[in-house]
Amino acid sequence: MNIYKLTYLNIIAIILLVFKINIIVAGTVQQKTIISGYIPEAKGQLISIDLHIIIPENIEQPSIHSSTTSTDGYFKFNCNIDKPRQVTIEINGQRIVAPYNNTLFVEPGDSLSFEILNLSKLGLNNISCSGIGCGKINFLREKLIATKTITDHFYDDFKIDSIPWLINYYKKISAYQSKILKSYSNQINEPMMAILRSEVVVSNFAVLFEKIVKNWNRKNSEIIANRLNVDSLLLPLNDTAVIYGRGEGNFVRTVIMGALLKNLYSTMDILNEDIFYNRNIDQYYDMIESSIGETAYRDFVLAKFIDQKVKVIGLNQEVQYCVDKFLNKNPKSNLYKSTIYALVENINTNLQIGKIIPEFILEDTQGNHISLHKYWGKVVVLDFWFTGCIPCKKLVPYLTKIENNFEDNPNIVFLSISIDRNKETWLNNIGIYSSNQSEAFYTSGLGMHHPLIRFLNFDSFPTIIVIGKSGELITTKTTNPDIKDEESLMEFLKILNNSI
């Protein structure tokens, strides 16, 4: 009897233990992450706060967006994340830290509280952070200070065109930042440490690799081979967790540029071309693929590369070669495979010349919601832009010339569409980053998530799309028409004249 009783109690204990373990595991996955803040100078005024959680592996929708407003200066977000992620925070459409050079990270279970003392002077140096998980934010701030310290020390001997100098400069910064990171090892867990080690690489060597390309010659290639071990530098990026936590921004650029630099001699001719846009794309893809090898980031980087090329120049013969080769290689991740399939299917189904685009609603300067169908019967030129976009600003004089050319023609209309998150920012920059003569529209704070942007499937700016009188697509190359001189201006005018 006692034996049976003991066995029964043991079974109960085991069940309870398993139940407890499941609760602990589930709790880890489902832990809430809290991001809050206080802006003293915003007390008594209405402000908007946007939070973007970056999900880089979801190539087609790489962020989750939440927004709130405040009149007392306080804000708070409760997030559900299952792994470390990058985040961006915007106040009235302005990021509290600059993109790419500075970034913020969060982990499941964090409770981060930011204090932002001066809205006109943002950045890691000018915000404080406290609470659970603040160690990584404090490291990022110290990393920024270290960069400035070394830069100031090197300033007297600054030789931007000297490749040996640049290699020495960035290696010193990287070593200094890595030393600082080690001092935080008791405050930051290992998965996050791995991501921060990759952050040191990405924030420094993406810049170095690109400068090397811009200063390319055979003499430099010999110096690089002797002084820069690209494989060793890229090693911290070869981790799936790092892709989830740091896969956005310069991550892909660092890997691609590193891959090209491993092919120094054989890639020399291509590196003299405009390799980031529409030249030698198939050769470029082959070089990247062969240099990356069977790394954790292989499928992710190649899929991102194809996604970018499709969105910038469309599905031409060279890009189709990349798509076919990627799919024939049978990517390990079905996520990336299905992403590329969906990308191609969208172009074949929706973005062919002559396809009628569905109805989309946009907000005008008076707050009215206007359907694009209102303009059917005319040729419609859509100019997509955002505040701070330098190429958008450079395009304005040429757009103005085009509009002046059709000033008295009732059969064509020009619409400027801003993806700014903040309405006031948009209104204040009409005529600076867009033509003042175009009818101005806004994506109502949805930015890249607006249905029209998602449908047209582009992510470079400025982008110009031409729609015919019946609502059919006349141009499907979803990038600006490269209007930078009189010759290219006349070429674009020819497209419009043929459409009217």
pLDDT, tens digit (0-9, with 9 covering 90-100), for 260-270: 777 754 555 44
CA-to-CA distance for 175 and 169, rounded, in angstroms? 10
Amino acid, single-letter form, for residue 265: Y
**Neighbouring C-beta atoms of residue 465, cutoff 10 Å:** 23
- Least confident among 47-61, 284-298, 479-493: 479-493
pLDDT band at 225 (very low <50, low <70, confident <90, very high): low
pLDDT at 35: 96
CA-to-CA distance for 392 and 379, rounded, in angstroms? 22
Q: CB–CB of 208/253 below 8 Å?
A: no
Place of tokens 């890249």: 448
pLDDT band at 10 (very low <50, low <70, confident <90, very high): very low
pLDDT band at 487 (very low <50, low <70, confident <90, very high): low
Highest-pLDDT range among 192-196, 258-262, 461-465: 192-196
**Neighbouring C-beta atoms of residue 302, cutoff 10 Å:** 24
- Least confident among 108-117, 284-293, 407-416: 284-293
Residue 29 pLDDT more than 80? no
List, for residues 317-366, the tens digit of each pLDDT value: 899 999 999 998 866 677 888 889 888 888 888 888 888 989 999 999 99
Mean pLDDT (the chain, rounded):
82
Q: What is the pTM of this model?
A: 0.78
pLDDT at 114: 95
Residue 419 pLDDT more than 90? yes
Dig out the tokens for 113 from the structure. Answer: 């509280």
Residue 40 pLDDT more than 50? yes
Produce one character per residue of 172-189: b if its CB has 16 or more CB atoms within 10 Å, e if not: ebbebbeeebeebeeebe
Q: CB–CB of 292/321 below 8 Å?
A: no
CA 414 to chain centre: 28
CA-to-CA distance for 485 and 487, rounded, in angstroms? 6
- Least confident among 13-27, 247-261, 390-404, 405-419: 13-27
- Least confident among 380-389, 412-421, 459-468: 459-468
CA-to-CA distance for 354 and 46, rounded, in angstroms? 45
Residue 102 pLDDT more than 70? no
**Measured on CA atoms in the order 399, 401, 404, 405, is the torsion positive or negative?**
negative
Amino acid, single-letter form, for residue 215: N
Residue 467 pLDDT more than 80? yes
Q: What is the 3-state secondary structure (H, E, C) of the chain?
A: CHHHHHHHHHHHHHHHHHHHHHHHHHHHHHCEEEEEEECHHHCCCCEEEEEEEECCCCCCCCEEEEEEEECCCEEEEEEECCCCEEEEEEECCEECCCCCCCCEEECCCCEEEEEECCCCCCCHHHEEEEEECHHHHHHHHHHHHHHHHHHHHHHHHCCCCCHHHHHHHHHHHHHHHHHHHHCCCCCCCHHHHHHHHHHHHHHHHHHHHHHHHHCCCHHHHHHHHHHCCHHHHHHHHCCHHHHHHHCCCHHHHHHHHHHHHCCCCCCHHHHCCCCCCCCCHHHHHHHHHHHHCCCCCHHHHHHHHHHHHHHHHCCCHHHHHHHHHHHHCCCCCHHHHHHHHHHHHHHHHHCCCCCECCCCEEEECCCCEEEHHHHCCCEEEEEEECCCCHHHHHHHHHHHHHHHHCCCCCCEEEEEEECCCCHHHHHHHCCCCCCCCCEEEECCCCHHHCHHHHHHCCCCCCEEEEECCCCEECCCCCCCCCCCCHHHHHHHHHHHHHHC
Of 305, 168, 275, nearest to 223 by C-alpha is 168
Q: CB–CB of 265/225 below 8 Å?
A: no
CA-to-CA distance for 270 and 277, rounded, in angstroms? 12
Residues paired with 65 in a beta bridge: 52
Dig out the tokens for 310 from the structure. Answer: 């499709």
Residue 6 pLDDT more than 60? no
